[in-house]
Every structure is written in C-alpha cells, then in structure tokens.
Amino acid sequence: PRTIFLKDYKKPPFLIDETVLHFDLSEQGATVKSRLSIRRNPDADTAPQDLYLDGVDLELAAIAIDGVELSGSGYELIAEGLRVIDVADNFLLECETRIKPHENTCLEGLYKSSSMFCTQCEAEGFRRITYYLDRPDVMSRFTTTIVADKNLYPILLSNGNQVERGDLDADRHFVTWEDPFRKPCYLFALVAGDLLNIDDEYTTMSGRKVALRMFVEPQNKDKCSHALNSLKASMKWDEEVYGREYDLDIFMIVAVDDFNMGAMENKGLNIFNSSCVLAKPDTATDATYQRIEAIVAHEYFHNWSGNRVTCRDWFQLSLKEGFTVFRDAEFSADMNSRTVKRIEDVNLLRTAQFAEDAGPMSHPVRPASFIEISNFYTLTIYEKGAEVVGMIYRLLGAELFRKGSDLYFERHDGQAVTTDDFVQAMQDASGKDLTQFKRWYDLAGTPVIAVDYEYDQDGQTFTLKLSQSCPSTAGDVVEKPFHIPFSFALLDNNGCNIPLIQDDDAVFANAPTELVLDFVKTEQIFTFQHIEKRPIPSLLRGFSAPVRIKNTYSRDELLFLMSNETDGFNRWDAGQKLAVEIIREVAESYAQGAELTVDQRLIEAYRGLLVSESIDKALLSKMLLLPTESYLIELSETANVDAIHHARNFVRDTVAKALKSELLKCYQDNLEAETAYSADFRSIAKRSLKNIALGLLLSIGDAEALTLAETQFATAENMTDESASLIALVNSDFIAPREAALETFYAKWKADPQVVEQWLSIQCGSVKSGSLEAVKRLMSHEAFDIKNPNKVRSVIGAFCNQNIVSFHNANGQGYAFLADNVIKLNKLNPQIASRLVTPLTRWKKFDEQRQALMQAQLKRILDEENLSKDVYEVVSKSIK
C-alpha cells in the first residue's frame, strides 16, 4: 500500500461548484446519478489534461460530458477511481453508478443498518457512493433527491433544507434537499427509513427559530429527550462562549445501530451511534448520560469548527477534532464539575494517549504521513490535539483566546484550512508569539519535565528549576524545547496560596497566587521572593500541559496535598501518585513472594476523605478510585501484569476492610430515595459514591454488602444503580448470586440493544466472569453479532482492554483469540479490525515471553492474504 505524505500536498486541479445527486434506493441496490459542474482551479499547482476522480466498489453504468455520452476512449476505469481523458476548463460531468448497500459491511459510504439506509462519508466514504473529488478542500453546493418505496422508507433525509417532495408511481416517493453551504463531500449524508421524529425548537441569539428534529426507530421514541436537551444547551453555550449561531432552519439527529464510531457531524444531519444518543433513566447509566451530552455538543460544535471552517487535507484533522474536543470539554466542564471533567480527560490522556505516543503508531498532532487515514482518528489527534488548543488557551487567557477564535472563524469562514492558519489567527489576535509553540503540532512523543526546587530561608526566596526533554519513539531525544504553559502556585503549611513575586518591585498586594509560567528553554529557573516559610509547590496545576512530570514529592507531602491542595485536579493527582507508589511497592513484594503490607498512611488518608464534611462529593468519588491496571501498566517500564493485578486488588481490599464502617456509612448516607432521576452532576456524584462504596464492600466478600447489592439490583429505579450492583456482584466471589444476576438482567433487557451491550461488556471486562472460554461462548450467544461494531467492542474490546490478566494470560491464548478475530473482521470491517488490534501492538510493555507471543500473532495477521490497508498499516508498523 502507498504512503501519502503531507509534503506532497497540491491544491486540487479541478473544483466542483455544484453537485446534484439523485438516489434511487431499492431492495436490490441503489442507483446514484450525479451531475457535477466542474471547472479548473485557477490557483492549482498543476494543470493536468485529465480529470481523476475517486471511486471504490462502484459499477459505472453511464457517463456523459455536457450531455454527450462518453465512449470508451473518453475515460478509463483505474484502481480506486476514474480517469476522464482530456477535459475542458468548464464542463458538466454526469455519471450513473450502481452500488450495493445491502452487502456493505465496512459501514463506509451508503449501507443498511437494520431496516434503514444511511451513510458515513468521513473520511473517504463518499467515493463508495459515486465518482468524485473526495478530498476536503473541494467544497461544493449539494442538491440531493432521494427516491424510495413510500411504505418502507417514509422518511428520506439529506443535508440542508427540504425543497420539494412528491409521490411517484408504484408506491414510490421522492424528497429533494438543498444545502446552501458549500461543503466537502465528507459532510454529505443520506438517511432513508421508517423512522419516528421527536421535535423541538430553538430560538437563536438573533431571534431565528430553528426546528430540532430527532429521528429514531419507533421503539426508541422515549429515549430522545436527553439528546435534545443537550443539543439546546450546546446551541446556547456556543452562542454565549464563542458567539457562534446555528445557520440552517433545521437541525436533524438520526440514531443508527450499526456505526463505526460515536457520531458524525454531517451538515444539518448529524448521524449518531444509538449508544451515544439514546437514553432514558432505566436503560442508560450516568456515564452514558454524560457521554451523550458531550458527543451531542461535540457534533453540534463541529458546525463551526469543522463544517463552516474545514480542513484543507486529512493531515489537518486535528484542526477540527482537537479544537472541537477542547470546545466540548469546556462545555461539559461548564455543565458539570469542572474538576471531575478534567480528571476524567487527563486520566484518558495519561493512560491511553501517552501509551499510543510511546507505541509503534506514535504520530504528531499533525502527522507527516499515513497509509490509511481512518487509522488516524486517534487519541493523539483528538485528545492531545485538544490539549494543544488548551495550552494556547492557557497562554493567551480567556479573553485573547476568544479574540483569536473570532478572528479564525471570520478570516476562514467557508474555507478549508490548516492548523498553521489556526495558530496564526491566535497569534495575530493576541500579539503573543506562538512560533515555538507550533512544535507541539509536528513532534510526536510526550515531553518529560524534571522539577527541582530550593528554598532559601535567609534570602526568603524559592527557586524553581524546570528541565524538559522529549524521548521520541525512535529512541532518540528531541533536542529543541517545547513552549510549555506551566501552571504553578506555592502553598503554605495551612494549604493557603502564597503571593508569587518574581520581580522585587512588584506590588505585594497585587501579586498573583497562581501563575502560568512560560517554560520555553531546556532548563529554566524561576525565582520567587518574600517567601517567609518553606512552602510546598503546586506543580502543573490543572495539568496545564500534556507532559509526564517526574514525582518530586515525599509521601508526607502527597498526604498533605491530598487534603490541602487548592487545585482540585492536583489534589486528586496527589492521591493517585501516592496510590501508585504504594501499589508498586506491594507489586514488588508480590513478585518476590514476600509478605504484602499496605502503608497505613494511605488508609488513613482515605478515612480522612470519607469522614470529611467539607469535601465536594464529585471530587471525593474520583479520589476513592485507585489508579487502573491500564494506567499502572503504562507507568511501568516492563509491566508484570499479574503482580499489578494482585497488588491493586490487595490494596483495594485492605483499604475496604479497614474502612468497612465508613464505607457502609457512605453507602447509607448517599442512598436517599430520589423523587425522579436527574442527571445533574450532584446527583451523579451521590450515586457514584454510593456505588463505589458498594463495590469495595462486595470485593471483600462482605455478607451485609451482598444483601445490599442484591436488594439494590432487585429494586433499582435507574440503570446506574442496577448496573452498578450487577458490576459489584460480577466482580465479587459470590458465584451463585453473580450468575443469577447476569441471567435475570439479560432476561429483563434482551430486547434493548444498548443494555445488552452493557451486559456483554460487564461480563467480558471482568476477570471473574470473563474467562476466555466464557467470552468465546458469548460470541455464539444470540446477543452477539460480529457485523455490529458495538457488540464487537462490548465483547472482544472489553476482554482485551479491560480484562487485562485474562487477555495477557501467559499461555498466549488471549492473543491468538484477538488475532483470529482481527483476521475475521479484516474482511468484514477493516476500520473495526484495525482498532481492535491495538492491544497486540503494545508488546514492548511486557516480558520477553509475552512479547514473543504477541509478535507471533501480529506476524500471523500480516501473513494473511488480502489484508486491508487499515490493518496492514497498524500491524506492519507494529512488528519489530
């Protein structure tokens, strides 16, 4: 397969001003007629005689230029495309293509999901619909007519506004849609089905009424209100925080069951994976409620950051994704607990993005090359990309950042641009030099910061010395430093912030108590004056940059920070750091066969948190969670999976035993009956605390807790409590109650796919119920369907990513199981196959024996014939 390089980017030689599409959908297949008004691009880098169009798995039925049918010598079918020979400067190209949506299992282009037709065109799916210039810098006005059976497909949708509809003979009908905004074809969408609509309305800041319409299969009509409320909140937030107003008369959301990712921001017609949009209290957990709020917002925000201003090429993907994740994270922080949102995001970044960036697929936020773009919808593009935007925000401050985003949207509205254009707008609006900052876009790897500090009692100065380095994946060290916003404070021994005076002349009274330091050199010293007593530094507050920071604190300092740090994120992080140290200590003893003991100070710290009257419950619920096995593996040079698993469980159980009465009280205190389910963050925090306490108590085999869990399971009035009690039972050693609960749960919910997905992943992700044999059995269960990505993620994904000791069993059978399924999925759905293979690519983290077993499976996959580009790229880059 061919590698595509950013350095080879050329402007498109042709442009398409108008795209008129006509779809005829039937049970036999679809016929697509296109009329493209094409002209040469006056700004093109080259002027070829021929026009090359992208096209994959299409049957060309007819082709004409300016109304004249082309003979065989006028065009040539080439690999993945069509060459139209010797074209003029301006012409109308008409094509008729036939496609088979029913046979489309890769879920790109036009496909069928249950009884409906739908599309997924990003990144390069449009070329599976018709021949086209399938690249984001070709922006066109689309008019789309859909013809289909009126009874089977009463609803026919596309982008923009509906302009015409009518009946045809033989029980067929048509609808025509016109999108007034020029857009790249990756934002095209079509939906046809027997769907119900739930309607709402929004009045924009300028007083325009926008119809909001959510389309779902009839059985889901009571699962729409949360998404619609989230949509209205997002529309309002984007007006208030970014000054961005919605621009069409209608905004549509469609839920589909078969979808490769979470959702898609098609202009005016967002398509969602059902699991990311449908919710009602008895079927969706709090986590799902919050995920839906975030994803609805994310897709809506793309209307400006992605659609109105789009990407020039796919190397710029983070231009829209990083910025939009930053926007949706700020939205979620405003709607919920800001500290908890930050904790969750940093947890994901440090666990999974750092691992990606240290692995074989490591790439910069703006990659320099790729084989298959679908492989680059990564944590680096999304999450690290959002961190990079967040760093600009922290360097500029809220006001200048807003000036920058206003300038960016104004300057580039209707254009396809680059991450450089984004940074330039931020620089021009703020006057802050971001030249060095741009390095974040082009270099892979996670910088490491070493912190050193000194307090001089006589001079009353505190000196902070920061050094940075960045190990690249090639094993060398990046020489040039990054521009790092390093958020910093000093705490006195009561936990109060001390004024930070860097310049002797500064007025003490106006001195800030928190600073964002511009850390731009490899080594840099910052000095603070008039510090009367030895302070404790508060470093990288709020995780102000995506870096690893070497731990500089003693255990006592960490304990102090756990109860006194004024930055919520750092307070939580102090607890994590302490727990990591203690689990590692226990893991070492376990590996050596020595006696296991847990530092009593950790237990006392948790006791202090549990009895605290003042701590915020949302933060407390996060502080009571130990670092995950995945994070502990990520932090290890060579991970001893079994030792980590046992040590973490030992620490958890020791804490739970010691704090049994506090945990029972915590459970009872947060049990209070609710009038009605509410997904506000305070209610969520209470449920979360209660359920964490329950899980801890059950993990130590507490009989009283078993009764509590069984009662909660039988009487729960919402899915959060029902599934939490199921999870607690599944992860306990109460075998009979566990099996009974799993059976009852399935019998109750088997008709609801979103709940069944949870049922599958709870079992497969648990070491207690998810043995490899059990997982294989589930793959023959009526609830499983290998063609449905959600089911694949719930079973195979949960086993390989969450049930870590079982997947990494030294017998290698977990690895072979994953490889078998990657091979199977390679044919059915390459995008899903290549995502699924990720855990095998992380072989470097494990012992030699496991490394060999993992690599053997990667080689087995690579030896397969007809490997997709998707799987080929990931596997070939992962083999030593």
Instruction: With residue 833 as reference, give the H or E element that holds it.
Output: helix 830-836
CB of 408 to Zn ion, least distance (A): 17
Please say which residue, 831 or 878, places its beta carbon nearer to ligand HT7: 831
Residues 303-322 that bind Zn ion (CB under 5 A): 321
Please say which residue, 94 or 345, places its beta carbon nearer to Zn ion: 345
Read off the amino acid at residue 327.
Answer: R
CB of 288 to Zn ion, least distance (A): 19
Read off the amino acid at residue 527.
Answer: T
Least Cα distance to 279 among 214, 335, 343 occurs for: 214
Please say which residue, 761 or 829, places its beta carbon nearer to ligand HT7: 829
CB of 233 to ligand HT7, least distance (A): 18
CB of 266 to Zn ion, least distance (A): 12
Please say which residue, 317 or 515, places its beta carbon nearer to ligand HT7: 317
Supply 351's token pair: 């666990």
Which of ligand HT7, Zn ion, none lies near 377, with the C-beta cut-off 5 to 8 A by kind?
Answer: ligand HT7
Which of Zn ion, ligand HT7, none lies near 854, with the C-beta cut-off 5 to 8 A by kind?
Answer: none
In terms of DSSP bridges, do strands 416-417 and 310-311 run parallel, antiparallel, or are they unpaired?
parallel
Supply 738's token pair: 């566990």
d(CA 371, CA 397): 38
Residues 6+ apart with CB under 8 A from 797: 761, 836
Sheet holding 81-84, edge to edge: 51-54, 81-84, 75-78
Please say which residue, 223 or 298, places its beta carbon nearer to ligand HT7: 298
First to last CA, the chain: 19
Instruction: With residue 387 as reference, give the H or E element that holds it.
Output: helix 385-396
Which of ligand HT7, Zn ion, none lies near 687, with the C-beta cut-off 5 to 8 A by kind?
Answer: none
CB of 193 to ligand HT7, least distance (A): 19
CB of 298 to Zn ion, least distance (A): 5
- What φ, ψ does residue 438 adopt, rounded to 5°? -60, -20
Residues 324-353 that bind Zn ion (CB under 5 A): 324
Supply 56's token pair: 């994959």
Please say which residue, 124 or 565, places its beta carbon nearer to ligand HT7: 124
Which of ligand HT7, Zn ion, none lies near 487, with the C-beta cut-off 5 to 8 A by kind?
Answer: none
CB of 124 to ligand HT7, least distance (A): 9
Please say which residue, 122 or 179, places its beta carbon nearer to ligand HT7: 122
Least Cα distance to 843 among 800, 799, 880 occurs for: 880
Please say which residue, 301 or 590, places its beta carbon nearer to Zn ion: 301
Which residue, judged by CB position, is nearest to ligand HT7 in the bound state? 261
Neighbours of 126 (CB within 10 A): 28
**Cis preceding linkage at 88, omega within 30:** no
| Residues 176 and 145: beta-carbon distance below 8 Å | yes
Integer-rounded Cα Rg, in Å, for the chain is: 28
b/e code 721-732 from CB counts within 10 Å (16+ = b):
bbbbbbbbbbbb
Please say which residue, 376 or 606, places its beta carbon nearer to ligand HT7: 376
Q: Look up tokens 């880098």; give the residue.
A: 45
Pattern 533-562, Zn ion, x by CB under 5 A: ------------------------------
Question: What does the angle CA 6 – CA 8 – CA 9 come to, to the nearest 5 degrees?
Answer: 70
Which of ligand HT7, Zn ion, none lies near 779, with the C-beta cut-off 5 to 8 A by kind?
Answer: none
CB of 822 to ligand HT7, least distance (A): 17
d(CA 779, CA 388): 40
| Residues 489 and 465: beta-carbon distance below 8 Å | no
Please say which residue, 216 or 319, places its beta carbon nearer to Zn ion: 319
d(CA 444, CA 441): 8
Q: Look up tokens 């470097």; give the residue.
A: 844
What percentage of the chain's residues is helix, strand, coil (to nearest 5)?
Answer: 45, 20, 35
E-state strands within 121-160: 140-149, 155-158
Least Cα distance to 382 among 326, 442, 440, 306 occurs for: 326
CB of 321 to Zn ion, least distance (A): 5
Distances from the Cα of 665 to the Cα of 155, 302, 669, angstroms: 53, 45, 6
| Residues 482 and 440: beta-carbon distance below 8 Å | yes
Which of Zn ion, ligand HT7, none lies near 213, with the C-beta cut-off 5 to 8 A by kind?
Answer: none
Please say which residue, 122 or 134, places its beta carbon nearer to ligand HT7: 122
Give the interface with ligand HT7 as residue ranges (CB under 6 A): 120, 122-123, 260-261, 263-265, 298-299, 302, 321, 374, 377, 831
Which of ligand HT7, Zn ion, none lies near 264, with the C-beta cut-off 5 to 8 A by kind?
Answer: ligand HT7
Note if 122 is an active site residue.
no
Which of ligand HT7, Zn ion, none lies near 374, with the C-beta cut-off 5 to 8 A by kind?
Answer: ligand HT7
d(CA 168, CA 175): 11
CB of 225 to ligand HT7, least distance (A): 22
Count of residues near Zn ion by CB under 5 A = 2
CB of 870 to ligand HT7, least distance (A): 10
Q: What torsion, rounded to 10 degrees, do the Cα atoms 272, 274, 275, 278 define?
A: 100
CB of 261 to ligand HT7, least distance (A): 4
Helices and strands in the chain, H and E counts: 31, 32
**Cis preceding linkage at 44, omega within 30:** no
CB of 340 to ligand HT7, least distance (A): 23
d(CA 13, CA 44): 5
DSSP string across 103-131: G--S--EEEEETTEEEEE-TTTTGGGTS-
Please say which residue, 321 or 387, places its beta carbon nearer to Zn ion: 321
What is the distance, to the nearest Å, from the Cα of residue 598 to the centroid of all Cα atoms in its chain? 35
Which of Zn ion, ligand HT7, none lies near 120, with the C-beta cut-off 5 to 8 A by kind?
Answer: ligand HT7
Least Cα distance to 697 among 687, 688, 707 occurs for: 707
d(CA 365, CA 439): 10
- The residue from 122, 124, 217, 299 that is catalytic is 299
d(CA 588, CA 597): 11
Please say which residue, 324 or 868, places its beta carbon nearer to Zn ion: 324
Query: Which residues are annotated as catalytic?
Result: 299
Q: Which residues bind Zn ion (CB under 5 A)?
A: 321, 324
